[in-house]
Amino acid sequence: MEIRAYPALFVPPSPPPLVVPKVELVLALGRAIELLDSSLGRHQKRVALIAANLVDGIGLRSTDVSRTVMAALLHGVGALARQEHTRNPEVGARFLEISPLTRDLSPIVAASRDSFRALKMRLGLTLDNALIAQALHLASRIDDAIEPDVFVLAQAARLRDEALAFARTELDPRIADAFERLSHTDSFWLDAADFDIDARVRLRLSHMSSVQADLDALQDFGRLYSVLVDSRSPYTATHSWGVAAVANCLAAWSGFDGETVQQIEIAAQLHDIGKIVVPSDIIEKPAGLSPAEFGTVRGHAYFTGCLLGTVPGLHRIAEWARSHHERLDGTGYPMGLAGARVTSEARVIAVADQFVALTEDRPYRKGISGQRALEMLSESAERGAIDRQIVAIVRDQFATVDAIRRHAQGVERDEIKTILRAG
């Protein structure tokens, strides 16, 4: 008798581990700064290219040139927290210390407005980082002096004289010498022009393109991003970490595998980054919002998707984060999704977000108790707006969920207080 062999049951291969290029995360954070303040964003790009030329001119490594660009793109990162920190590099530097992906840029940003004399007082600053910081200082000074309505080559002689006088008296002689030599070329000044600047910035980052962030590093970067956005107002100062912690435990109890749980937590950390488009006076308005103001607030979920969706590898996380205000009955935003089009991962984040938001103080109301928040979640689930099964998990594990929320929010509150003391 012939024995027929049957093929084994097909098991789809596991998706490859999630890794994201470090430079793409830095560029995304730079885009967030530009979305908040377009003039600051453009300034950072011009400073990046001018400083890169200076660092290249003194013979530092190509990787240092890329690090110069990344530090320049993030030297105004404190503005994401509060506008008054735009020119306070110490605040921005403390934020950058949160993530291992940006920690090496923190000492550069902290020293980016130091004179050569002040720089010598900083303990532990490496020579390469000191030179990069000095290059950023001069580049920022040059860009501030450029008249935007005059073609840059037409003012190059004035800019050269002013910048050289400053560099000779205030900065490291090696930076001054490099500037004096390079500033006689047209290309040095034309690199400060906005024409096709995004492509030129990306080209200067090419030597770091192979540096990858794994899931753990991405999670730390999400914490950095969420702290920046949450710290804009005392009414949002603990929100993202509370949502992320609750989403993590709900996802685990819902049966997701460990890697997906971690990705859901990252999406929850990042779900509100689009709020940088919402003016602080709306976030802190001590009364109900007008239809126009509420329309502005509703836009934040869409912009969260835009900021994350451009990063290679983050497409699923971007979708989940963008969808945290979608509702199963189709009444949510920004896409008006309904039913099965709202992914299981997004449903977890939506419940976590709503639970945490209800318990928080807002300028127009006090936060309610966790128990009352649970009752309101149950009512919303009965109406078919949010997932009943996930709400049931909150109900069954209420004491644990509420304790996790309180702990995570307390940790973020302390983190933000520590950082803002630098301001």
Instruction: Quote the pLDDT of residue 420.
Output: 81
What is the distance between the alpha carbons of residues 105 and 43, in angstroms, rounded to a whole number? 18
Instruction: Quote the pLDDT of residue 14.
Output: 59
Q: Is the pLDDT at 152 greater than 90, yes or no?
A: yes
Q: Is the pLDDT at 401 greater than 90, yes or no?
A: yes
What is the distance between the alpha carbons of residues 185 and 31, in angstroms, rounded to a whole number? 30
**At which residue do the structure tokens 């207080």 appear?**
417
Instruction: Quote the pLDDT of residue 86.
Output: 60
Q: Is there a cis peptide before residue 334, judged by omega within 30 degrees of 0?
A: yes
Q: What share of the chain is helix, strand, coil (3-state, %, to 5)?
A: 70, 0, 30
Per-residue pLDDT tens over the stretch 313-341: 999 999 999 999 999 999 999 999 999 99
What is the distance between the alpha carbons of residues 258 and 230, in angstroms, rounded to a whole number? 26
Give percent of the chain above pLDDT 90: 75
User: What average pLDDT does this structure show over 60-77?
Assistant: 95
User: What average pLDDT does this structure show over 345-374?
Assistant: 91
Q: Is the pLDDT at 228 greater than 70, yes or no?
A: yes
Instruction: Quote the pLDDT of residue 288.
Output: 83
Per-residue pLDDT tens over the stretch 27-64: 999 999 998 889 999 999 999 999 999 999 999 999 99
User: What average pLDDT does this structure show over 108-118?
Assistant: 96
Instruction: Quote the pLDDT of residue 102.
Output: 95
**At which residue do the structure tokens 């949160």 appear?**
98
Per-residue pLDDT tens over the stretch 262-284: 999 999 999 999 998 888 888 88
What is the distance between the alpha carbons of residues 266 and 233, in angstroms, rounded to a whole number? 21
Instruction: Quote the pLDDT of residue 209.
Output: 86
Q: Is the pLDDT at 189 greater than 80, yes or no?
A: yes
Angle at 412 between CA 410 and CA 416, to 5 degrees: 120
What is the SS3 assignment for 21?
strand
What is the SS3 assignment for 148?
coil
Instruction: Quote the pLDDT of residue 423.
Output: 59
Instruction: Quote the pLDDT of residue 287.
Output: 83
Q: How many other β-carbons are positioned within 10 Å of the β-carbon of residue 302?
A: 16
Instruction: Quote the pLDDT of residue 5.
Output: 46
pLDDT band at 1 (very low <50, low <70, confident <90, very high): very low
Domains annotated for the chain, with CATH where assigned, are 20-212 (1.10.3210), 215-420 (1.10.3210.10)
Q: Which residues contact 390 (CB under 8 A, 6 or more apart)?
A: 250, 254, 347, 348, 351
Q: How many other β-carbons are positioned within 10 Å of the β-carbon of residue 354?
A: 21
Q: What is the 3-state secondary structure (H, E, C) of 385-407?
A: CCCHHHHHHHHHCHHHHHHHHHH
Angle at 93 between CA 92 and CA 98, to 5 degrees: 100
pLDDT band at 367 (very low <50, low <70, confident <90, very high): confident
Per-residue pLDDT tens over the stretch 74-94: 999 988 876 565 667 888 999
* DSSP letters spanning 218-246: HHHHHHHHHHHHHTT-TTSTTHHHHHHHH
> Mean pLDDT over all residues of the chain?
91
